[in-house]
Amino acid sequence: MKKVLARILYEILAKHLPASHAVLNVGQEGFRHWCVQNFCGGGQIGQNVDIERNASISSKVHIGNHSGIGKNALIQGEVHIGNYVMMGPECQIWTINHAMNRTDIPMIEQGVTQERPVYIGDDVWIGSRVTILPGVRIGQGAVIGAGAVVTHDVQDYSIVAGNPATTIRKRK
């Protein structure tokens, strides 16, 4: 019952409150955290997690300590986010896609693919409007440039950008 109540409170109230660091502070950061922690199952959401305004979050998400979810983010399915992860606004993380294997029936009638979880390591910076596709693993210390479409795994301490995202250089 608590899980359902927390989801309802999040969807109708918490996600629409002002941004976490807005001048008007009505406890929105703590309230969003409480709601998400409770509809995801207590141990899946770490301490000092900042979930910004209008973020749509799956109940299967895991978020480490000191991480943030950007404004208007969309996190779908099973996603594991490490500690100290920064996420810009309007990011999308997908774990399923439309099935399209068959050519004898319309794609709209083929359903969806099997879920492929996404894993994001510790100390990662994800820029604004990044799209991360199913099954991707983003390594520790990586930087994902704004607007990137991440279709493949990202190595530790890599800086990637573009569509599809390619490695620009290493951080160390």
Given the residues 16, 33, 98, 152, the one annotated as active site: 98
In angstroms, rounded to a whole number, what is the distance separating the alpha carbons of residues 104 and 64?
44
Contact 148, 130 (CB under 8 A): yes
Tell me if residue 66 is catalytic.
Answer: no
CA atoms within 13 A on the CB side of 61: 29
Q: For residues 156 and 98, what is the distance between their CA atoms, to the nearest angstrom?
A: 29
Q: Give the residue numbers annotated as catalytic, written as ranges.
A: 98
